Structure 1
Amino acid sequence: MSSERLCYWLLLLVARFSLSATIAAAGKVSALIVFGDSTVDAGNNNFISTIAKANFPPYGIDFDGGVATGRFSNGRLVTDFVSEALRLPSSVPAYLDRSYTIDQLAMGVSFASGGTGLDHLTAKLTSVIPLSQQLEYFKEYQERLKRAKGESVANKIITEALYIFSIGTNDFILNYLVLPLRPAQYTAPEYVAYLIGHADAAVRGAYDLGARKILFVGLAPFGCVPAARTLNRDEPGECNEEYNQLAIKFNAELQEAISKLNGDLAGAQVVYIDTYNMASGIVANPLDYGFENIEQGCCGTGLIETSVLCAMDQQLTCQDADKYMFFDSVHPSERTYSIVADQILKTALQVFM
């Protein structure tokens, strides 16, 4: 066996051992509870009146049974992969989907809503569920859990659950960079601070309701999503670095806020998830990750289509979404989500194990 081949197998064994150790300790997490936007919406938007939906083909073409669940992807999301690795269900249910029983929701639930943001105005733009309402649903969920399981068991589930917040991109892409209202009120640094204030309040709100193990996902380089590349007037087809700088600024302030939260919230651990560098690594070296296309989405022309626009151009949808970093012009493919989930399991999640 060549030395290169031997090194490959040794690295593979180390990776498997690391993942096995994570899964072996997974019993410490009782459930996965999710707040956020389309990156973690398991289908809540299916049950509200909004144009921001993904419950039709080609979405879900690689989900179990080829079902369009309302996830803005060809398959599963980061939270689904994390849930499965924690020996919880392989997909996280949407809270508003009443086909799920409270026993099923007891192991994990998503309150997320595609199109929402930290800024309440962002949610209003497409009539989706604001973060404040997601926390209200969480309160309702707790009461249902207590009625079904008893207060002691319900409290144990809530305390030992892992909480994920994934939100913030829409505040820039759908709101600040498009509409004139917020830019008239806030400079870019002021708006970042405004959003961080809402992120801080949301974590404190979840803490007051019992959350103790919390992951907060930072912003990815959203200037590199296909739609941003398409609309980049200065350098068409290239990443919009002005947008990426906003993500970097937000992430830096989010990390400072998280540090303060860890000092203020007794018994809690809040962990920052660095998706910016994860995604930047893929953009810089796509072939290392098995991607052939990072500039276009799989659906339609891949340049601007998302949500209903993907459905209008189904005949143009790519044959193998695994070769694409993005499924539509904004949302990652299932394979990208799996790579991010793997990094979370190997790094940030170790804090709770």
Structure 2
Amino acid sequence: MKLRILCLALVLLAVEANAAKPAKNTTIPSLIVFGDSIMDTGNNNNLPTMLKCNFPPYGKDYPGGLATGRFSDGRVPSDLIAEKLGLAKTLPAYMNKNLKPEDLLKGITFASGGTGYDPLTAKIMKVISVWDQLTYFKQYIATIKKHFGEEKAQNILDNSFFVVVSSSNDLAHTYLAQSFSYSRTSYANFLADSAVKFVRELHKLGAKKIGVFSAVPVGCVPLQRTVFGGIFTRGCNQPLNNMAKQFNARLSPALDALDKELDGVILYIDVYDTLYDMIQHPKKYGFEVADRGCCGTGALSISYMCNSLHPFTCSNSSSYIFWDSYHPTERAYQVIVDSLLEKYLSKLV
């Protein structure tokens, strides 16, 4: 009798131990990403653009200290989401010429730093537009079919998580070239409508689980503070933040309507509030500096202005929200991704 009770107790302990382990992702086969520098893992490296970062000190906290073309000190959200899904620790860039067919199976990012929903943005920056990224996606699916078969390609289309991140470059830069044609509100609405159009096109190509990031409080990045925030105060550029909020106010209900209309899952993913709260209350999240970047002086340094010859780059990037004057650090990205996926991931499975 005692032996039976002991065996039962051991079985219950084993069940409890297994239940405590995080379940491995078995329903999302890959992560497919579209967008801008937030998600770019090296697609700009071989483009004729000034928006590059495949040189030190970019990547100083990346495994091996490699400058891979990620606009940060380390990994970026495309990597962190892939890891969170149990797929891989890093997500490859589609334009990497060394990719093998098997490297595509866990996912890919088509994102290109400097792009936007407005086609003019990519044209000005000489980068890959989100619309051209859809063309590359068609090539990607064709490659999967060729090497792994129709069934594998269909599984990727039906069950992968598709993430779209754009709008910051449109709002912060291209609007100035378009201001003679648009008011701030009408331009933000135009971008939101373009985002919805993009999702429709992506869905037509077979994607079923699509998450679209909101605009971020781009008026609070260090560069905007330096240029528009006042010489002494360096406050956030509130008109620009208002444009971002207008974009979000238009995008959110439009995606909700699309979710009801189309088969699959269409998610609006709010990153504005999380990042804004981090910037306003950095110590709450374990950060020390929120108004300057770690690289260089932190006020204007970005891309080639953030280089290995600059004497002021900080050594403790994890205490900074921003890596350069525009992009967050890996640790800041990690805080955001952890917060968001905990909220939205359950809706995908």
Fold shared, TM-score > 0.5 on shorter chain = yes
Give the superposition deviation at 1:99: 1.2
The residue number in structure 2 matching 1:64 is 63
3-state SS, counterpart of residue 139 of structure 1: helix
The residue number in structure 1 matching 2:333 is 337
Give the superposition deviation at 1:240: 1.4
TM-score normalised by length of structure 1: 0.90
User: Are the counterparts in 1 of residues 293 and 325 from structure 2 also a CA contact under 8 Å?
Assistant: yes
Q: Out of 310, 313, 316, which is 1:317 matched to?
A: 313
The residue number in structure 1 matching 2:280 is 284
Is 1:250 paired with 2:247?
Answer: yes
3-state SS, counterpart of residue 291 of structure 1: coil
Give the superposition deviation at 1:233: 5.0
The residue number in structure 2 matching 1:5 is none
Give the superposition deviation at 1:314: 2.9
The residue number in structure 2 matching 1:7 is none
How many Å separate the matches in 1 of 2:314 and 2:328? 14
How many Å separate the matches in 2 of 1:239 and 1:251? 18
Is 1:261 paired with 2:219?
Answer: no
3-state SS, counterpart of residue 45 of structure 1: coil
Q: Out of 265, 270, 288, which is 2:266 matched to?
A: 270
User: Are the counterparts in 1 of residues 171 and 188 from structure 2 also a CA contact under 8 Å?
Assistant: no
The residue number in structure 1 matching 2:189 is 193
Q: Which stretch shifts more, 33-42 or 277-286?
A: 277-286
User: Are the counterparts in 2 of residues 57 and 314 from structure 1 also a CA contact under 8 Å?
Assistant: no
How many Å separate the matches in 2 of 1:195 and 1:224? 20
Give the superposition deviation at 1:48: 1.5
Q: How does 1:76-95 map to 2 (within 5 A)?
A: 76-95=75-94
Q: How does 1:155-194 map to 2 (within 5 A)?
A: 155-176=154-175, 178-179=176-177, 182-194=178-190
Structure 1 stretches of 5 or more lacking a match? Answer: 1-16
Is 1:96 paired with 2:95?
Answer: yes
Q: Match for 1:26: what amino acid?
A: N
Is 1:108 paired with 2:99?
Answer: no
Q: Who wins on radius of gyration, i.e. which is larger?
A: 2
**Number of residues paired by the alignment?**
330
How many Å separate the matches in 1 of 2:24 and 2:160? 13
CA shift digits 1:9-43 (9 cap, x unpaired): xxxxxxxx9xx78x526211010000000000010
User: Are the counterparts in 2 of residues 300 and 313 from structure 1 also a CA contact under 8 Å?
Assistant: no
How many Å separate the matches in 1 of 2:308 and 2:300? 12
Q: Match for 1:93: what amino acid?
A: P
Give the superposition deviation at 1:160: 0.9
Q: Match for 1:345: what amino acid?
A: L
How many Å separate the matches in 2 of 1:313 and 1:256? 47
Is 1:241 paired with 2:229?
Answer: no
The residue number in structure 2 matching 1:117 is 116
Q: Match for 2:207: what amino acid?
A: A
Structural RMSD (CA): 1.5
How many Å separate the matches in 1 of 2:100 and 2:343? 32
Q: Out of 281, 297, 302, which is 2:298 matched to?
A: 302
Give the superposition deviation at 1:325: 0.3
